[in-house]
Chains A and B, each alone.
Chain A
């Protein structure tokens, strides 16, 4: 555990099936990471309605309090968060990578980093160490890979599903925790004036288009078996020669490290 000043930004999520308000999956992972790094000193910040019951699920993870910038649902959270973070003196700000309700564009960490002038680490998986104001972190890549990065404090990090799973929320601490509302100036978001949210339509399934000019070709395409075609078959080789051919392909594809 380090004595960093860490702020985790949280939002209200939606259950994928029922749509009920809950703690957002990725934001809970951000809180978990923050708790592992800073323990009790972690500050958690939300911009929205302080009466929202779903926020208590974050308190149930072992937080004494949660700061809420009081604003209506459609307002723009970015200017408020920017000014709050400028004064808060945080060294590390953790966010999820995209909201579960509303636009969910995933732009917030990028815009915050741009406005604050801080570097941004995308897909933070683990903070290895912090020395002399420089943090060494692991970034999650697709296919379970990791990359080691060095970044100067203060910085912003977004967390995705590769971060440690969030701990369970307990009922007692969730009731006891304090939701502290802050009065702020409200900035309207212009997007929803011109765009509409509608229930998600199932995406059209891509059809296999057969561009055959004649009936014979169509018949051939319809009855064709999945055959490799270009596959190379090596027969009657010594095991060494066979292994060499496989080795060459693995090197070409860059999977051998």
Chain B
């Protein structure tokens, strides 16, 4: 429903005009009032409103719509109760992955687990390395936020990070360490930390309850049930994320500076990978074309210029413009891209299922009413060929400027 409050000037005019035949109907009717003897009197006829088919409806939720009530925009966002831990009895330290500088769903599940372990007295500490773009630490359940900055932690520096976590260990002596058992850094950092601290961690944990934890063992054929150790590497969906409290996310600082060690592994940076060779199910950035693409040469050029993996809708594949293994959707590949750009795809439900796990969807389409535009975070209405050509130009200009800056 639209949030815009609409006035009905005619109804207002009738309500002012005592001589109008509909005047009485336009008056605000009170459904209950205090009677002369102090009793509450009710007018049952004034309750409710006349629904669209002329039948009287009573909405007992309190959010009555229609009728003589003054219509207002939807109520503002409810403030969740603030959970304050002034003097924490113990700490639960979480080191989230922060892929792309934000808390991912795995990180939020982990914070939910930490919240469960912390109870009322403990504090959940999130340790974040370097810059971040997250602004919802409070609603994710972080009581204390420890941000460790310094150029030594930039890029791939697991040994330096383990040193910093060692400093956290000696400062807070946390009851539990929680790290995501993921390929994007958490699994490695957690195991390095375990080797450093001499703790035997529980890995791939999917349930922690009553001091016991259950984790997958071996190749996933068996479960290992054991007492919950200090260091837990938890799988995705290990607990429900925090949803009904707010937390302070009070900044915390390391008391002593982290010693700088000479890195034994030198990071030479990312290597350009041919996007066409990346399996589509795990590609990060997909440019997908559908029925609306008329100039396929231009489409391939755009994919090359953007460095995107190519995808296609079923129509494009059936018409022979793209190979079958590039089809995105229920009958093709279910993709997990962070950015999915759909050019000339109107968004059949099978296609939308296939891109359900994508973070950001960009749509370029002629039809402003299509389903893809309802799903997209950014949609541009217009001719796809012209927009792709302009995009290629813009990216080329950006790349040139980058080269000039570097030179």
CB closest residue in chain A, given B360: A253
In the complex, the answer to whether B243 meets A211 with C-beta atoms within 8 Å is yes
CB closest residue in chain B, given A142: B183
In the complex, the answer to whether B237 meets A203 with C-beta atoms within 8 Å is yes
Question: What 1/0 flags go to B205-235 for Cβ under 8 Å of A?
Answer: 0100000001011111111111100000000
Q: Interface residues of A: mostly helix, strand, loop or mixed? A: mixed
Question: What 1/0 flags go to A180-201 for Cβ under 8 Å of B?
Answer: 0000000000010011111111
Q: A255 at the A/B interface (Cβ < 8 Å)?
A: yes
- A151: which B residues are within 8 A, CB to CB? 264-266
CA distance A216 to B59 in the complex (A): 8
In the complex, the answer to whether B307 meets A243 with C-beta atoms within 8 Å is no
CA distance A107 to B202 in the complex (A): 10
**Known pairs A142-B183, A233-B373, A253-B339; A147 contacts B264 (CB<8 A):** no
CA distance A249 to B306 in the complex (A): 13
The distance from the CB of B223 to the nearest CB of chain A, in whole angstroms, is: 5
In the complex, the answer to whether A200 meets B223 with C-beta atoms within 8 Å is yes
- A170: which B residues are within 8 A, CB to CB? none
In the complex, the answer to whether A195 meets B225 with C-beta atoms within 8 Å is yes
- B265: which A residues are within 8 A, CB to CB? 119, 121, 149-151
Q: B196 at the A/B interface (Cβ < 8 Å)?
A: yes
CA distance A247 to B283 in the complex (A): 19
- Identify which of B223, B269, B338, B359 gathers the most chain A CB atoms within 10 Å of its CB: B223
In the complex, the answer to whether B223 meets A198 with C-beta atoms within 8 Å is yes
The distance from the CB of B162 to the nearest CB of chain A, in whole angstroms, is: 10
Q: B66 at the A/B interface (Cβ < 8 Å)?
A: no
In the complex, the answer to whether B381 meets A233 with C-beta atoms within 8 Å is yes
**Known pairs A107-B194, A255-B284; A250 contacts B381 (CB<8 A):** no
CA distance A142 to B209 in the complex (A): 31
Question: What 1/0 flags go to A134-157 for Cβ under 8 Å of B?
Answer: 001011011111111111100000
In the complex, the answer to whether A255 meets B200 with C-beta atoms within 8 Å is no
In the complex, the answer to whether A106 meets B187 with C-beta atoms within 8 Å is yes
The distance from the CB of A250 to the nearest CB of chain B, in whole angstroms, is: 7
**Known pairs A236-B381, A245-B380; A119 contacts B360 (CB<8 A):** no
Residue of B269, B273, B374, B379 near A227 (CB, 8 A) is B374
CA distance A104 to B255 in the complex (A): 37
CA distance A144 to B85 in the complex (A): 42
**Known pairs A102-B217, A147-B267, A233-B381; A198 contacts B222 (CB<8 A):** yes
**Known pairs A147-B271, A148-B268, A214-B61; A234 contacts B219 (CB<8 A):** no
In the complex, the answer to whether A231 meets B374 with C-beta atoms within 8 Å is yes
Question: Which of the candidate stretches A49-57, A64-72, A109-117 sits at the interface with the other chain?
Answer: A109-117
Q: B139 at the A/B interface (Cβ < 8 Å)?
A: no
Residue of B201, B359, B378 near A232 (CB, 8 A) is B378
- B383: which A residues are within 8 A, CB to CB? 239
Q: Interface residues of B: mostly helix, strand, loop or mixed? A: mixed
In the complex, the answer to whether A99 meets B285 with C-beta atoms within 8 Å is no
- B364: which A residues are within 8 A, CB to CB? 242, 246
In the complex, the answer to whether B378 meets A249 with C-beta atoms within 8 Å is yes
The distance from the CB of B307 to the nearest CB of chain A, in whole angstroms, is: 6
Residue of A105, A246, A254 near B378 (CB, 8 A) is A246
The distance from the CB of B237 to the nearest CB of chain A, in whole angstroms, is: 6
Question: Which of the candidate stretches B21-29, B114-122, B389-397 sits at the interface with the other chain?
Answer: B389-397
A interface, size bucket? 35 or more
CA distance A195 to B225 in the complex (A): 6
Interface hits, B344-359 → A, CB 8 Å:
352, 359
Q: B128 at the A/B interface (Cβ < 8 Å)?
A: no
In the complex, the answer to whether A107 meets B218 with C-beta atoms within 8 Å is no
CA distance A233 to B375 in the complex (A): 11
Q: A90 at the A/B interface (Cβ < 8 Å)?
A: no
CA distance A56 to B273 in the complex (A): 36
CA distance A150 to B266 in the complex (A): 5
In the complex, the answer to whether B273 meets A144 with C-beta atoms within 8 Å is yes
CA distance A149 to B156 in the complex (A): 9
Q: A237 at the A/B interface (Cβ < 8 Å)?
A: yes
Q: A2 at the A/B interface (Cβ < 8 Å)?
A: no
Q: A48 at the A/B interface (Cβ < 8 Å)?
A: no
**Known pairs A102-B218, A197-B217, A246-B378; A144 contacts B201 (CB<8 A):** no
Q: A40 at the A/B interface (Cβ < 8 Å)?
A: no
Q: B277 at the A/B interface (Cβ < 8 Å)?
A: yes
In the complex, the answer to whether B395 meets A143 with C-beta atoms within 8 Å is no
CA distance A211 to B241 in the complex (A): 14
Q: B30 at the A/B interface (Cβ < 8 Å)?
A: no
In the complex, the answer to whether B223 meets A201 with C-beta atoms within 8 Å is yes
- Identify which of A102, A215, A257 gathers the most chain B CB atoms within 10 Å of its CB: A257
In the complex, the answer to whether A200 meets B216 with C-beta atoms within 8 Å is yes
- A249: which B residues are within 8 A, CB to CB? 339, 360, 362, 377-378
Question: What 1/0 flags go to A216-237 for Cβ under 8 Å of B?
Answer: 1100000001111011111111
Other than A228-B376, A250-B285, give 4 A-B pairs with Cβ distance below 8 A: A14-B219, A203-B206, A244-B394, A246-B364
Q: Please name 28 pairs of A and B residues whose Cβ atoms are closer than 8 Å in the assembled complex, sorted by A.
A: A105-B191, A105-B202, A106-B191, A114-B196, A146-B271, A148-B268, A149-B266, A194-B226, A197-B217, A198-B223, A199-B222, A200-B220, A206-B240, A211-B244, A214-B61, A228-B373, A230-B377, A233-B368, A234-B379, A235-B368, A239-B383, A239-B387, A240-B390, A243-B394, A245-B380, A247-B391, A250-B285, A255-B338
Residues of A whose CB lies within 8 Å of any CB of B are 13-14, 16, 19, 99-107, 110-111, 113-114, 119-123, 136, 138-139, 141-152, 160, 191, 194-201, 203, 206, 209, 211, 214-217, 225-228, 230-237, 239-240, 242-247, 249-251, 253-257
Residues of B whose CB lies within 8 Å of any CB of A are 59, 61-63, 100, 156, 159, 183-184, 187-188, 191-192, 194-196, 200-203, 206, 214, 216-227, 237, 240, 243-244, 264-273, 277-279, 282-285, 306-308, 338-339, 341, 352, 359-360, 362, 364, 368, 373-383, 386-391, 393-395, 398
